[in-house]
Amino acid sequence: MCFNSVSRVDCSLVRRRYWNRDTLIIEASFVPVERAVEFKLLEGGVEPRNLPGTHPSVYTEATRRGILSEHVVENLQDLWRNHRARTYYQDGLATRERAERTYELASETHEYVVNQPAKKHECIGG
């Protein structure tokens, strides 16, 4: 069964075994990182309809609004470009180490967002 956040194309690739476990972990781990940044943008007053439409622009907007430093944004954009995008499009090989580190980043980002915002929020996702 495919989750709502995964496209039908992604699900068909999984069923056909084009992706391995590590690729799926990398792909799934970038979603909460980006959603955490979007959450901070929303918390800062950005209207949902005005959220940036591309992966890099989400991070750029976070820098513009003082949510993330330029250094952090450059690192996130580099991670997205060289790890998530390359493994997703099969230009780079997903490795267990890469998957584990990406998952750790997602876990730490989730922990930060749940515990550090100006208004306390309860995570309903676990």
107 token code pair? 């876990």
Residues 6+ away with beta carbon under 8 Å from 55: 34, 77, 80
DSSP secondary structure code for residue 82 in this structure? I
Q: Is the pLDDT of residue 73 over 80?
A: yes
The confidence score (pLDDT) of residue 125 equals 57
122 token code pair? 């309860």
Residue 126 within any structural domain of the chain: no
Cβ atoms of residues 32 and 19 within 8 Å: no
Residue 69 within any structural domain of the chain: yes
Residue 5 within any structural domain of the chain: no
pLDDT, one tens digit per residue, over 3-12 is 444 444 455 4
The confidence score (pLDDT) of residue 105 equals 78
Average pLDDT of span 66-92: 74
Residue 67 within any structural domain of the chain: yes
- The tally of domains found in the chain comes to 1
67 token code pair? 């949510």
Q: Which of 51-60, 86-95, 99-108 has the lowest mean pLDDT?
A: 86-95
Q: Is the pLDDT of residue 91 over 50?
A: yes
The most confident of the ranges 6-10, 19-23, 97-101 is 97-101
The confidence score (pLDDT) of residue 97 equals 78
Domain range for 40: 20-115
126 or 37, which is more confident?
37
Which residue, chain included where needed, has tokens 């915002």?
Answer: 117
Q: Cα dihedral angle (87, 92, 96, 100), rounded to 10 degrees?
A: -50
The confidence score (pLDDT) of residue 79 equals 77
Q: Cα dihedral angle (56, 60, 65, 66), rounded to 10 degrees?
A: 110
Confidence of residue 49 (pLDDT cuts 50, 70, 90): very high
